[in-house]
Protein backbone atom coordinates (compact mmCIF):
# COMPACT_ATOMS: atom_id res chain seq x y z
CA UNK A 1 0.00 0.00 0.00
CA UNK A 2 2.82 2.37 0.92
CA UNK A 3 4.61 1.63 -2.35
CA UNK A 4 1.41 2.39 -4.28
CA UNK A 5 1.07 5.75 -2.51
CA UNK A 6 4.66 6.56 -3.45
CA UNK A 7 3.99 5.68 -7.08
CA UNK A 8 0.93 7.93 -7.18
CA UNK A 9 2.76 10.83 -5.51
CA UNK A 10 3.99 13.51 -7.98
CA UNK A 11 7.74 13.52 -8.60
CA UNK A 12 8.05 17.15 -7.54
CA UNK A 13 5.73 19.62 -5.86
CA UNK A 14 5.29 23.36 -5.67
CA UNK A 15 7.24 23.21 -2.43
CA UNK A 16 10.16 21.59 -4.26
CA UNK A 17 10.15 24.29 -6.92
CA UNK A 18 9.98 27.11 -4.39
CA UNK A 19 12.68 25.68 -2.14
CA UNK A 20 15.19 24.91 -4.90
CA UNK A 21 14.57 28.28 -6.54
CA UNK A 22 15.03 30.09 -3.23
CA UNK A 23 18.27 28.25 -2.46
CA UNK A 24 19.59 28.86 -5.99
CA UNK A 25 18.83 32.58 -5.91
CA UNK A 26 20.20 32.98 -2.39
CA UNK A 27 23.46 31.32 -3.44
CA UNK A 28 23.80 33.54 -6.53
CA UNK A 29 23.05 36.74 -4.58
CA UNK A 30 25.42 35.94 -1.72
CA UNK A 31 28.12 34.97 -4.22
CA UNK A 32 27.63 38.19 -6.17
CA UNK A 33 28.08 40.39 -3.09
CA UNK A 34 30.97 38.38 -1.63
CA UNK A 35 33.15 37.49 -4.61
CA UNK A 36 31.36 38.83 -7.68
CA UNK A 37 29.60 37.02 -10.50
CA UNK A 38 31.31 34.03 -12.15
CA UNK A 39 30.00 31.72 -14.83
CA UNK A 40 30.84 28.71 -12.63
CA UNK A 41 28.10 29.79 -10.24
CA UNK A 42 25.46 29.52 -12.94
CA UNK A 43 26.85 26.14 -13.99
CA UNK A 44 26.66 24.87 -10.39
CA UNK A 45 23.06 26.05 -9.98
CA UNK A 46 22.07 24.57 -13.35
CA UNK A 47 23.66 21.22 -12.55
CA UNK A 48 22.05 21.05 -9.12
CA UNK A 49 18.58 21.75 -10.52
CA UNK A 50 19.12 19.42 -13.47
CA UNK A 51 20.04 16.53 -11.20
CA UNK A 52 17.30 17.39 -8.72
CA UNK A 53 14.52 17.24 -11.31
CA UNK A 54 15.89 14.74 -13.86
CA UNK A 55 14.98 11.52 -12.04
CA UNK A 56 14.56 9.94 -8.62
CA UNK A 57 18.06 8.47 -8.68
CA UNK A 58 19.72 11.70 -9.80
CA UNK A 59 17.86 13.60 -7.07
CA UNK A 60 19.15 11.21 -4.42
CA UNK A 61 22.65 11.57 -5.79
CA UNK A 62 22.70 15.38 -5.81
CA UNK A 63 21.17 15.59 -2.33
CA UNK A 64 23.91 13.33 -1.00
CA UNK A 65 26.55 15.09 -3.09
CA UNK A 66 25.40 18.44 -1.66
CA UNK A 67 27.85 17.73 1.18
CA UNK A 68 30.63 18.17 -1.38
CA UNK A 69 28.92 21.22 -2.89
CA UNK A 70 28.96 22.90 0.54
CA UNK A 71 32.72 22.33 0.69
CA UNK A 72 33.20 23.87 -2.78
CA UNK A 73 31.14 26.94 -1.86
CA UNK A 74 33.08 27.50 1.37
CA UNK A 75 36.35 27.16 -0.54
CA UNK A 76 35.17 29.65 -3.15
CA UNK A 77 34.03 32.15 -0.52
CA UNK A 78 37.48 32.15 1.06
CA UNK A 79 38.36 34.70 -1.64
CA UNK A 80 36.26 37.23 0.28
CA UNK A 81 38.24 36.65 3.48
CA UNK A 82 41.96 36.33 2.61
CA UNK A 83 43.86 34.53 5.35
CA UNK A 84 46.76 36.99 5.17
CA UNK A 85 44.44 39.62 6.67
CA UNK A 86 44.16 37.60 9.88
CA UNK A 87 47.70 36.31 10.40
CA UNK A 88 51.26 36.81 9.21
CA UNK A 89 52.21 34.95 6.04
CA UNK A 90 55.11 32.55 6.56
CA UNK A 91 57.59 32.71 3.71
CA UNK A 92 61.27 32.76 4.63
CA UNK A 93 61.07 30.68 7.82
CA UNK A 94 59.17 27.91 6.02
CA UNK A 95 61.65 27.93 3.15
CA UNK A 96 64.60 27.75 5.55
CA UNK A 97 62.99 24.95 7.58
CA UNK A 98 62.38 22.94 4.41
CA UNK A 99 66.00 23.42 3.36
CA UNK A 100 67.25 22.52 6.86
CA UNK A 101 65.28 19.25 7.07
CA UNK A 102 65.07 18.11 3.45
CA UNK A 103 67.86 20.11 1.77
CA UNK A 104 69.79 18.45 -1.07
CA UNK A 105 73.49 19.23 -1.61
CA UNK A 106 74.20 20.16 -5.20
CA UNK A 107 77.36 21.73 -6.62
CA UNK A 108 78.47 23.20 -3.33
CA UNK A 109 75.11 24.59 -2.26
CA UNK A 110 72.01 23.32 -0.49
CA UNK A 111 68.74 23.30 -2.43
CA UNK A 112 65.18 22.61 -1.37
CA UNK A 113 63.70 19.55 -3.14
CA UNK A 114 61.66 21.99 -5.27
CA UNK A 115 64.78 23.82 -6.40
CA UNK A 116 66.56 20.54 -7.09
CA UNK A 117 63.81 19.15 -9.30
CA UNK A 118 63.44 22.46 -11.11
CA UNK A 119 67.03 21.93 -12.28
CA UNK A 120 66.83 18.18 -12.85
CA UNK A 121 63.39 17.63 -14.31
CA UNK A 122 62.49 16.13 -17.68
CA UNK A 123 59.72 16.35 -20.24
CA UNK A 124 58.51 12.85 -19.35
CA UNK A 125 58.25 13.81 -15.68
CA UNK A 126 56.46 17.04 -16.61
CA UNK A 127 53.80 15.12 -18.54
CA UNK A 128 53.38 12.22 -16.12
CA UNK A 129 53.32 14.58 -13.14
CA UNK A 130 50.70 16.76 -14.81
CA UNK A 131 48.49 13.72 -15.45
CA UNK A 132 48.74 12.72 -11.79
CA UNK A 133 47.93 16.26 -10.64
CA UNK A 134 44.85 16.39 -12.83
CA UNK A 135 43.48 13.44 -10.84
CA UNK A 136 43.25 15.23 -7.50
CA UNK A 137 39.51 15.98 -7.89
CA UNK A 138 38.26 13.63 -10.68
CA UNK A 139 39.39 10.50 -8.79
CA UNK A 140 37.57 11.39 -5.53
CA UNK A 141 34.45 12.38 -7.48
CA UNK A 142 34.50 9.20 -9.58
CA UNK A 143 34.99 7.15 -6.42
CA UNK A 144 32.05 8.94 -4.77
CA UNK A 145 29.85 8.11 -7.77
CA UNK A 146 30.93 4.46 -7.53
CA UNK A 147 30.09 4.33 -3.81
CA UNK A 148 26.69 5.93 -4.48
CA UNK A 149 25.68 3.01 -6.68
CA UNK A 150 27.36 0.29 -4.61
CA UNK A 151 27.14 1.38 -0.96
CA UNK A 152 25.33 4.62 -0.17
CA UNK A 153 26.18 4.57 3.50
CA UNK A 154 29.87 4.49 2.60
CA UNK A 155 29.16 7.17 -0.03
CA UNK A 156 27.92 9.53 2.70
CA UNK A 157 30.69 8.68 5.13
CA UNK A 158 33.29 9.28 2.42
CA UNK A 159 31.84 12.71 1.60
CA UNK A 160 31.52 13.71 5.27
CA UNK A 161 35.15 12.69 5.86
CA UNK A 162 36.26 14.57 2.75
CA UNK A 163 34.57 17.79 3.90
CA UNK A 164 35.82 17.44 7.49
CA UNK A 165 39.43 17.06 6.32
CA UNK A 166 39.00 20.17 4.17
CA UNK A 167 37.55 22.17 7.06
CA UNK A 168 40.53 21.21 9.23
CA UNK A 169 42.79 22.33 6.40
CA UNK A 170 40.93 25.63 6.05
CA UNK A 171 41.34 26.37 9.76
CA UNK A 172 45.10 25.78 9.46
CA UNK A 173 45.20 28.07 6.42
CA UNK A 174 43.93 30.91 8.58
CA UNK A 175 46.08 30.06 11.60
CA UNK A 176 49.23 29.59 9.54
CA UNK A 177 49.16 31.35 6.15
CA UNK A 178 52.03 29.97 4.10
CA UNK A 179 53.52 30.82 0.72
CA UNK A 180 54.18 28.02 -1.79
CA UNK A 181 57.72 27.34 -3.10
CA UNK A 182 57.04 29.04 -6.45
CA UNK A 183 56.30 32.28 -4.56
CA UNK A 184 59.89 32.37 -3.29
CA UNK A 185 61.14 31.72 -6.82
CA UNK A 186 59.29 34.75 -8.23
CA UNK A 187 59.02 37.14 -5.24
CA UNK A 188 61.71 35.94 -2.84
CA UNK A 189 60.75 36.74 0.75
CA UNK A 190 58.78 39.95 0.16
CA UNK A 191 55.08 39.68 1.01
CA UNK A 192 52.80 40.88 -1.80
CA UNK A 193 49.18 40.61 -0.71
CA UNK A 194 47.42 40.48 -4.06
CA UNK A 195 49.66 37.97 -5.78
CA UNK A 196 47.76 35.98 -8.39
CA UNK A 197 47.78 32.21 -8.63
CA UNK A 198 50.57 30.63 -10.64
CA UNK A 199 50.87 27.35 -12.53
CA UNK A 200 54.56 27.14 -11.49
CA UNK A 201 56.12 23.91 -12.81
CA UNK A 202 52.82 22.77 -14.28
CA UNK A 203 53.27 25.37 -17.01
CA UNK A 204 55.54 22.80 -18.70
CA UNK A 205 52.58 20.44 -19.00
CA UNK A 206 50.50 23.21 -20.59
CA UNK A 207 53.29 24.05 -23.01
CA UNK A 208 53.77 20.41 -23.99
CA UNK A 209 50.09 20.08 -24.95
CA UNK A 210 49.81 23.70 -26.10
CA UNK A 211 46.71 24.16 -23.96
CA UNK A 212 46.05 26.37 -20.89
CA UNK A 213 44.81 23.44 -18.79
CA UNK A 214 46.45 24.26 -15.47
CA UNK A 215 46.47 27.98 -16.19
CA UNK A 216 42.65 27.98 -16.22
CA UNK A 217 42.58 26.02 -12.95
CA UNK A 218 45.00 28.19 -11.01
CA UNK A 219 43.55 31.46 -12.26
CA UNK A 220 40.51 30.60 -10.09
CA UNK A 221 42.48 29.78 -6.93
CA UNK A 222 41.00 31.05 -3.69
CA UNK A 223 44.24 31.98 -1.93
CA UNK A 224 47.90 31.88 -2.91
CA UNK A 225 48.96 31.76 0.75
CA UNK A 226 47.27 28.46 1.55
CA UNK A 227 50.08 26.03 0.83
CA UNK A 228 50.14 24.27 4.22
CA UNK A 229 48.63 21.76 4.56
CA UNK A 230 48.59 20.42 1.00
CA UNK A 231 45.01 19.28 0.61
CA UNK A 232 46.03 17.92 -2.79
CA UNK A 233 48.01 15.43 -0.72
CA UNK A 234 45.12 14.77 1.67
CA UNK A 235 42.50 13.72 -0.88
CA UNK A 236 44.17 10.54 -2.20
CA UNK A 237 44.72 9.39 1.40
CA UNK A 238 40.97 9.58 2.03
CA UNK A 239 40.24 7.77 -1.23
CA UNK A 240 42.70 4.97 -0.45
CA UNK A 241 41.34 4.62 3.11
CA UNK A 242 37.78 4.10 1.86
CA UNK A 243 39.04 1.95 -0.99
CA UNK A 244 40.66 -0.35 1.55
CA UNK A 245 37.53 -0.31 3.71
CA UNK A 246 35.50 -1.42 0.71
CA UNK A 247 38.05 -4.07 -0.30
CA UNK A 248 38.49 -2.90 -3.87
CA UNK A 249 41.52 -5.10 -4.56
CA UNK A 250 43.64 -3.98 -7.51
CA UNK A 251 41.76 -0.68 -7.68
CA UNK A 252 43.49 0.20 -4.42
CA UNK A 253 46.84 -0.31 -6.14
CA UNK A 254 45.75 2.34 -8.64
CA UNK A 255 44.68 4.61 -5.77
CA UNK A 256 48.07 4.08 -4.11
CA UNK A 257 49.99 4.92 -7.28
CA UNK A 258 47.91 8.07 -7.82
CA UNK A 259 48.52 9.07 -4.21
CA UNK A 260 52.30 8.74 -4.53
CA UNK A 261 52.21 10.49 -7.92
CA UNK A 262 50.30 13.48 -6.52
CA UNK A 263 52.62 13.74 -3.52
CA UNK A 264 55.72 13.77 -5.72
CA UNK A 265 54.25 16.13 -8.32
CA UNK A 266 53.25 18.63 -5.61
CA UNK A 267 56.95 18.99 -4.78
CA UNK A 268 58.29 18.49 -8.31
CA UNK A 269 56.22 21.38 -9.70
CA UNK A 270 57.02 23.75 -6.80
CA UNK A 271 53.44 23.96 -5.62
CA UNK A 272 54.25 22.53 -2.20
CA UNK A 273 57.15 21.87 0.09
CA UNK A 274 57.70 18.37 1.45
CA UNK A 275 56.53 19.87 4.76
CA UNK A 276 53.24 20.86 3.13
CA UNK A 277 52.75 17.34 1.78
CA UNK A 278 53.48 15.76 5.15
CA UNK A 279 51.08 18.14 6.88
CA UNK A 280 48.43 17.25 4.28
CA UNK A 281 48.90 13.55 5.00
CA UNK A 282 48.63 14.19 8.74
CA UNK A 283 45.55 16.35 8.16
CA UNK A 284 43.87 13.46 6.31
CA UNK A 285 44.76 10.94 9.03
CA UNK A 286 43.50 13.26 11.77
CA UNK A 287 40.32 14.01 9.82
CA UNK A 288 39.58 10.32 9.24
CA UNK A 289 40.18 9.50 12.90
CA UNK A 290 38.12 12.46 14.09
CA UNK A 291 35.21 11.55 11.82
CA UNK A 292 35.17 7.97 13.11
CA UNK A 293 35.27 9.25 16.70
CA UNK A 294 32.47 11.77 16.10
CA UNK A 295 30.41 9.05 14.46
CA UNK A 296 30.58 6.95 17.62
CA UNK A 297 30.34 9.62 20.31
CA UNK A 298 28.25 12.50 18.96
CA UNK A 299 25.02 13.31 17.14
CA UNK A 300 26.87 13.11 13.82
CA UNK A 301 25.78 9.51 13.52
CA UNK A 302 22.15 10.67 13.61
CA UNK A 303 22.82 13.20 10.85
CA UNK A 304 24.44 10.53 8.67
CA UNK A 305 21.46 8.23 9.26
CA UNK A 306 19.03 11.00 8.26
CA UNK A 307 21.02 11.67 5.10
CA UNK A 308 21.09 7.96 4.38
CA UNK A 309 17.31 7.83 4.66
CA UNK A 310 17.14 10.51 1.96
CA UNK A 311 19.53 8.90 -0.52
CA UNK A 312 18.98 5.15 -0.10
Does 208 lie in the same domain as 108? yes
Render pLDDT for 189-221 as a digit per residue (tens, 0 to 9).
999 988 888 999 999 999 999 999 998 888 766
Q: Span 210-233, mean pLDDT? A: 87
Residues 251 and 210: their CA atoms lie apart, in Å, by: 32
Residue 15: predicted pLDDT = 84
Render pLDDT for 102-118 as a digit per residue (tens, 0 to 9).
999 988 899 999 999 99
Does 65 lie in the same domain as 154? no
Say how many domains are in the chain.
2
In the chain, the DSSP E strands lie at 104-106, 109-111
- Among the residue ranges 69-78, 240-249, 260-269, the one predicted with the least confidence is 69-78
pLDDT at 84 over 60: yes
Backbone angles phi and psi of 109, in degrees to 5:
-135, 165
Residue 312: predicted pLDDT = 87
Domain boundary, last residue among 82, 105, 139? 82
Do the Cβ atoms of 199 and 218 come closer than 8 Å? yes
Q: Span 256-282, mean pLDDT? A: 97
pLDDT at 64 over 70: yes
The Cα-based distances of 192 to 90, 173, 268 in angstroms read 12, 17, 24
Show the CA angle centred on residue 121, arms to residues 117 and 125, nearest 5°. Answer: 115
Q: Could you list the residue range(s) of the whole structural domain that residue 252 is in?
A: 87-311
Most confident of 68-77, 230-239, 298-307: 230-239
Does 264 lie in the same domain as 170? yes
Residues 257 and 280: their CA atoms lie apart, in Å, by: 17
Q: Span 85-94, mean pLDDT? A: 95
Amino acid sequence: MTDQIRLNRPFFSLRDILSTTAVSLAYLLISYFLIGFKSQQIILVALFNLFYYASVISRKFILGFSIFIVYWIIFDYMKAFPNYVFNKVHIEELYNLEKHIFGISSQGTVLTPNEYWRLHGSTAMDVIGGIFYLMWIPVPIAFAVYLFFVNREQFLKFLFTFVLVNLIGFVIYYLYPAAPPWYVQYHRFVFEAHTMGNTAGLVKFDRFFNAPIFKSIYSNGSNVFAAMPSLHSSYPVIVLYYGLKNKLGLVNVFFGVVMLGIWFTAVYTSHHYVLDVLSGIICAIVGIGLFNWLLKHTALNGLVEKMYAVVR
